[in-house]
């Protein structure tokens, strides 16, 4: 396989780097710096610049104003956004739009995608279930109701639920198949309770009681929920990679300047070995990320379903991002614990990403089950 990025993907990276160059990671309040502080909204100025640069329509077809690229391009942009901790729902917005593009009716695509590509319609997705550790497609039930569906249940930790216009909600029908319903933020029977992430981003707990959704706002295609789940997970791995790279760079700069006994501490063997170990983590995170994104983008056949590659990427990302920030804190010494220094905020984001990905052991179990069902060789 060829992991060389295409000209279009490289152009996307250059555009993203230019766009995020002016974003200051420690320029906004967060609970990591101000106890009790929660961002009331995502960064609308960055959102507008993403729209102007056509980066909100990466996975939207050109016929609807998008650029018709793939999951690899999205992950490249997410990687750059995480380096500066950009407060935008780019992952959820792009993933929801991709599902509408791939599986929505022609009428649904016409109504949603052009405005989504322009950033005028903000999309998010519910993917954490009732507790954050159970299956999201089982947290809400769907019952047929004339030419629509009635939804009942609860979804927790929905990113920017109070600020998005539409929430893509998975629900399980009585016959066992999963539907995806686009539910307006303000809708009869829907209530949103405030939640807060470790990083200070605004989350919402969605309670649905007889929420009626027209059939025209529902995606029923087989495999649509699996694709959404895999895309969200892989995008989160891209965020973890970008954050980890920024933190390791920050650590390298600090240890290169900080001196003890008349020498930069970066020249000490114990410091160099720890930094090298974290570099290995990042390279493993990177290669497993691109493998998963490539499988999602191309649908290429393999001995294991794409979920297996996503599980491997999640294992490395969840463990790797934690090890990178912990080593950074250690090598910065007391300076790393200073809440006025941006490393503290990166640590809070890393913890949130780790929690979002879930424990590595869970995905090792998933991988083991896949290997048992699909023996290699």
pLDDT reading at 77 higher than 50: yes
Rounded Cα gap, residues 349 and 355, in angstroms? 10
- Decide if 140 contacts 152 (C-beta within 8 A): yes
- Domain 7-122: assigned CATH number: 1.10.540.10
| Residue 34 confidence (pLDDT) | 52
pLDDT per position as a tens digit, 358-374: 888 777 888 888 888 88
pLDDT per position as a tens digit, 142-168: 999 999 999 999 999 999 999 999 999
> Rounded mean pLDDT of 298-319?
89
Rounded Cα gap, residues 367 and 364, in angstroms? 5
> Which of the listed ranges 26-30, 228-232, 356-360 does the model predict with the highest average pLDDT?
228-232
Band (pLDDT 50/70/90 cuts) for residue 89 is very high
| Residue 343 in tokens | 């490393």
Between 257 and 246, the higher pLDDT residue: 246
| Residue 1 confidence (pLDDT) | 55
- Decide if 84 contacts 16 (C-beta within 8 A): no
> Rounded mean pLDDT of 53-63?
97
* Complete DSSP assignment for 101-160: HHHS-HHHHHHHHHHHHTTSS-EEE--STTTSSS-GGGSEEEEEETTEEEEEEEEEEEET
CATH label, 224-373, candidates 1.20.120.80, 1.10.340.30, 3.20.20.70, 1.20.140.10: 1.20.140.10
pLDDT per position as a tens digit, 332-350: 887 777 777 888 889 989 9
| Residue 213 confidence (pLDDT) | 98
> Rounded mean pLDDT of 27-31?
46
| Residue 291 confidence (pLDDT) | 94
> Rounded mean pLDDT of 243-264?
86
pLDDT reading at 39 higher than 90: no
pLDDT per position as a tens digit, 201-221: 889 999 999 999 999 999 999
> Rounded mean pLDDT of 171-196?
95
Cα dihedral 136, 239, 362, 374 in deg (nearest 10): 90
| Residue 26 confidence (pLDDT) | 53
> Rounded mean pLDDT of 10-34?
76
| Residue 32 confidence (pLDDT) | 43
> Rounded mean pLDDT of 21-43?
64
Share of the chain above pLDDT 90, in %: 71
Helix (H/G/I), strand (E/B), else coil: 25: coil
pLDDT reading at 37 higher than 70: no
| Residue 30 confidence (pLDDT) | 45
Instruction: Tell me the domain boundaries of the chain.
Output: 7-122, 125-219, 224-373
Fold match between 125-219 and 224-373?
Answer: no
| Residue 48 confidence (pLDDT) | 96
Between 37 and 220, the higher pLDDT residue: 220
pTM of the model: 0.94
Q: At what angle do helices 71-83 and 224-257 cross, to 10 degrees?
A: 40
Which helix (H) or strand (E) covers residue 258, if one does?
Answer: none
CATH class of 125-219: mainly beta
Rounded Cα gap, residues 120 and 112, in angstroms? 10
């Amino acid at each position: 396989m060829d992991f060389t990025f295409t000209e279009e993907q490289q152009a996307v990276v250059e555009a993203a780097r230019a766009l995020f160059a002016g974003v200051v990671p420690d320029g906004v309040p967060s609970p990591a710096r101000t106890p009790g502080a929660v961002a009331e909204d995502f960064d609308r100025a960055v959102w507008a610049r993403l729209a102007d640069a056509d980066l909100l329509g990466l996975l939207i077809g050109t016929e609807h104003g998008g650029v018709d690229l793939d999951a690899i391009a999205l992950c490249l942009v997410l990687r750059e956004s995480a380096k500066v901790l950009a407060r935008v729902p780019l992952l959820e917005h792009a993933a929801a739009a991709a599902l509408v593009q791939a599986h929505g009716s022609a009428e649904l695509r016409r109504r949603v995608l052009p405005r989504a590509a322009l950033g005028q319609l903000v999309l998010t997705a519910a993917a954490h279930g009732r507790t954050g550790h159970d299956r999201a497609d089982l947290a809400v039930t769907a019952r047929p109701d004339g030419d629509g569906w009635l939804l009942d249940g609860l979804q927790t930790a929905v990113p920017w639920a109070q600020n998005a216009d539409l929430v893509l909600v998975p629900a399980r029908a009585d016959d066992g198949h999963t539907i995806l319903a686009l539910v307006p933020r303000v809708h009869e029977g829907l209530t949103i309770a405030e939640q807060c992430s470790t990083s200070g981003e605004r989350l919402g707990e969605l309670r649905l009681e007889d929420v009626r959704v027209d059939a025209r706002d529902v995606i029923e295609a087989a495999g649509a929920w699996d694709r959404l789940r895999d895309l969200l997970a892989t995008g989160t791995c891209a965020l973890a990679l970008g954050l980890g790279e920024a933190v390791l760079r920050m650590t390298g700069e600090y240890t290169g300047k900080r001196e003890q006994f008349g020498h930069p501490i970066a020249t000490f063997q114990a410091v160099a070995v720890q930094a090298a170990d974290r570099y290995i983590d990042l390279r493993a995170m990177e290669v497993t990320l691109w493998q998963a994104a490539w499988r999602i983008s191309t649908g290429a056949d393999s001995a294991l379903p794409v979920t297996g590659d996503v599980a491997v990427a999640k294992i490395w990302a969840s463990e790797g991002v934690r090890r990178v920030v912990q080593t950074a804190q250690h090598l910065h010494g007391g300076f790393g614990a200073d809440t006025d220094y941006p490393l503290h905020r990166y640590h809070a984001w890393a913890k949130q990403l780790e929690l979002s990905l879930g424990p590595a052991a869970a995905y090792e179990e998933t991988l083991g089950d896949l290997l048992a069902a699909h023996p290699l060789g």
